[in-house]
Structure 1
Amino acid sequence: MSARHPIIALTGSSGAGTTTASRTMQKIFVEEGVNVAIVEGDSFHRYTREQMAELAKQGRYGQWNHFSLAANHIDKLEELFCDYGQNGQGRFRHYIHDDDLDLIRGGGAPGTFTPWQSLPRQTDCLFYEGLHGGVSTDDYDIASHVDLLIGVTPIVNLEWIQKIHRDTHDRGYSQEAVVATILNRMEDYVRCIVPQFSHTHINFQRVPTVDTSNPFIMREVPSHDESFVVIRFRNPREVDFPYLINMIANAFASRHDTLVVPGNKLALAIDLIIRPMVLEMIERSRT
């Protein structure tokens, strides 16, 4: 951790909803004039899309999947966090998605990576969104470098529903292929993804209020109006629960460290909770 060069990490698995939370975070940065260096976890994957497909053909997909630490440059991610905390610098790259039109026009192929490059200079903080922002093992301790670690983790049936819907509707995969991916990743989900949520400072967990007992037959993702968000704080003494309950309609505390808000108030809750923390970190780094 570094008071001078703070790091914020948003971690969650594929289909968990981290992209929605990330947009809210970036809105805060823009509105508050925070000069942020943004790094995506996909850029630390070890293999290109074509290489992953080849591994799958060899029957090694369960071993080499994006949840797996071995399929990612976790060492380079920890090196980046360490360097940024010490001097505000570090190296990163981009993973080129199908909709990264600027990178594709520049000659990059979807499913590959740009060359490694240095972060912009003179940034106020580093913001990471990806799968491994809270990893802590015998070999790596990413979480120890993060000043604010945020988890986005819907209950697992809802996570599967969101992933199946996204990958079938937006990415053109069959449901059978998506379910196979879920099964192939299961061991690494349990070993590599879930433990991170014990290291987070704040967890946002969406819980539907409709029947999701069989996620593999659901045709629609439960809406935010059909959900609650359970927010757990590591340090509840630092949280003004009465203020948040007053500001967020129908919010309530279910435990001394847990706030529950309507699902359609997620963006508001992130803003009310995270914005003051970001401003405090930036002020501390500048002084």
Structure 2
Amino acid sequence: MSVKHPIIAITGSSGAGTSTVMQSFQHIFRREKINAQIVEGDSFHRYDRLSMRAEMKAQGEQGNVNFSHFGPEANLLEELQDLFVSYGKNGSGKVRKYLHDAAEAAPWQQEPGTFTPWQDIPAATDLMFYEGLHGAWSGDGIDIAAQVDLCVGVVPIINLEWIQKLHRDQKMRGYSQEAVVDTILRRMPDYVNHICSQFGRTHVNFQRVPIVDTSNPFIARDIPSADESMVVIRFANPKGIDFQYLINMLHGSMMTRPNTLVVPGGKMGLAMQMIFTPMVLRLMDQKRRA
């Protein structure tokens, strides 16, 4: 953790909605004129797309049928920790991008599924913002969570997460349902061991809960909309959170535990703005005072 060079991390699995949270923070950064260094978790995968397929095949032949991006072996977690430590000390470090599709790859004249070269972080950024799978990871002598000043978990209930992944991978990536289900099953051990545990280290968790039937996610025709959901917001340390103000401003919200607020799904973005704006401004004020 660092006062002069704060780090915010959003952690959650693929299809969990971390990109939505990222958009909310970008609104805050733009409105408050904060120059944030964005770090994509995918850029710290160990293998590019083709190499990952080859490694999965090799691991399978060795009996490891559960090798996935969720686990530490497929990621550069020590390098990610080094980046956070370096940035926290003096605002420096090296980053790269993972080029997901042809549109992202075209400016670099590279193939989709590859990484750009490592580059130094520009000078004089106000804070670092990470979005990916391992923002609160800890284990094997690595403690990424300890380097983060504000860590947010995004974790819909598992059936909703599966529905979102099924729809995204089938409609946007052209995968069959059988292929997506195989991926879900293959990643499950790493999900349990390396993703779930992170949500006990976050400062705030957002969990979207559908209020429609998702009992069989594999036959769901639509992703439950925001208006068909509630969002459970859990604060690790509720001290300083004005729950009464939030309840008054977020119509239809309620408290279910002393550290837990539940809001209508359609108000998730507004809730994020109201909760995180003062937290980000507090980090920036501490930075200026330092």
Per-residue deviation at 1:138?
Answer: 3.5
Per-residue deviation at 1:57?
Answer: 3.4
**Which residue identity is paired with 1:105?**
P
Matching residue within 220, 224, 227 for 1:225: 227
CA distance in 2, matches of 1:279, 1:99: 37
Per-residue deviation at 1:63?
Answer: 4.2
Contact 2:234 2:260 (C-alpha < 8 Å) held by counterparts = yes
Contact 1:52 1:64 (C-alpha < 8 Å) held by counterparts = no
Contact 1:232 1:257 (C-alpha < 8 Å) held by counterparts = yes
SS in 2 for 1:126: strand
CA distance in 1, matches of 2:55, 2:29: 39
**Residue 13 in 1 paired to residue 33 in 2?**
no
Matching residue within 69, 73, 77 for 2:76: 73
RMSD: 1.2
**Which residue identity is paired with 1:85?**
G
Matching residue within 88, 98, 114 for 1:112: 114
Q: Deviation per CA, 1:238-276: give whole Å up to 9, x if none.
A: 210000001101111010000000000000000000011
CA distance in 2, matches of 1:62, 1:82: 34
Out of 277-286 and 125-134, give the one that drifted further.
277-286
Matching residue within 69, 87, 90 for 1:87: 90
SS in 2 for 1:167: helix
**Residue 98 in 1 paired to residue 101 in 2?**
yes
Out of 51-60 and 118-127, give the one that drifted further.
51-60
**Which residue identity is paired with 1:28?**
I
**Which residue identity is paired with 1:139?**
G
CA distance in 1, matches of 2:249, 2:43: 37
Contact 1:62 1:185 (C-alpha < 8 Å) held by counterparts = no
**TM-score, length of structure 1 as denominator length:** 0.97
Question: What are the residue-to-residue correspondences of 1:1-40 with 2, within 5 Å?
Answer: 1-40=1-40
**Which residue identity is paired with 1:50?**
L
SS in 1 for 2:173: coil
2:248 alignment counterpart: 246
CA distance in 2, matches of 1:126, 1:59: 34
CA distance in 2, matches of 1:131, 1:80: 16
| Structure 1 segments unaligned to the other structure (5+ residues) | none
CA distance in 1, matches of 2:197, 2:65: 19
Contact 1:148 1:201 (C-alpha < 8 Å) held by counterparts = yes
Q: How many residues align?
A: 286
CA distance in 2, matches of 1:270, 1:116: 32
SS in 1 for 2:142: coil
CA distance in 1, matches of 2:204, 2:79: 25
SS in 1 for 2:219: coil
Question: What are the residue-to-residue correspondences of 1:136-175 with 2, within 5 Å?
Answer: 136-175=138-177
Q: Deviation per CA, 1:90-130: give whole Å up to 9, x if none.
A: 111100110543x4232121100011111111011000000
Question: What are the residue-to-residue correspondences of 1:174-185 with 2, within 5 Å?
Answer: 174-185=176-187
Per-residue deviation at 1:208?
Answer: 0.3
Contact 2:108 2:116 (C-alpha < 8 Å) held by counterparts = no
**TM-score, length of structure 2 as denominator length:** 0.96
CA distance in 2, matches of 1:142, 1:190: 18
CA distance in 2, matches of 1:71, 1:32: 36
Contact 1:226 1:263 (C-alpha < 8 Å) held by counterparts = yes
CA distance in 2, matches of 1:98, 1:263: 30
Per-residue deviation at 1:144?
Answer: 0.2
SS in 1 for 2:9: strand
CA distance in 2, matches of 1:145, 1:99: 34
**Which residue identity is paired with 1:40?**
E
Contact 2:156 2:207 (C-alpha < 8 Å) held by counterparts = yes
Matching residue within 194, 197, 200 for 1:198: 200
| Structure 2 segments unaligned to the other structure (5+ residues) | none
CA distance in 2, matches of 1:128, 1:263: 24
Per-residue deviation at 1:137?
Answer: 1.4
1:52 alignment counterpart: 52
Per-residue deviation at 1:286?
Answer: 1.4
